[in-house]
Amino acid sequence: MSVNENPRGQPRFAGPSRANTLAGMSLAFVMAHRVAEAGNVPVGAVVMVADQVVARAGNLRESLQDPTAHAEILALRDASQRLGRWRLEDATVFVTLEPCAMCASALVQARVKKVVYAATEPKTGAHQSVLRLFEGTATEVVQDASAAPESAEMLARFFQDLRQREREARNRQ
């Protein structure tokens, strides 16, 4: 296998330009901030095809009371509906947090060509942190290390604020 091939010997997907990579990740952060304001864990995802945004979503597990309402799943569903196909072989997905096992499986099943994520997820990450579910698949996965600190800080702040609100609620009782 050469550097220009994925594990199946297929040519690597060049993916979006650096400018569009920045735009994709920036939009994922916008989605993450938006859902955090509604009390959801701040994770955002964007699906791009041919340097065009096809779908975007934020984590809505709390709002929808749905354990499957992760940003990646919602963005994949929207992209598939908009494109009229479930195979997203030409898509790049930008996400602010390393995908969990459920999302990693969905990304692989959708035949997504490339996943770019910001922060690692030490409890449930399925790329490198806990599991390695993308190994041996045609989906190329990379961490955008330059975006990781912003994502980690956003998540830490969200959970710190959540714990503070929970303490205040207990103290009022």
CB atoms within 10 A of CB 105: 15
Q: How many CA atoms lie within 13 A of 27 on its CB side?
A: 20
User: Buried b vs exposed e over 144-172: b needs ≥16 C-beta within 10 Å?
Assistant: beebbebbbebbeebeeeeeeeeeeeeee
Cβ pair 24, 46 in contact under 8 A: yes
- Catalytically active residues, by annotation: 72
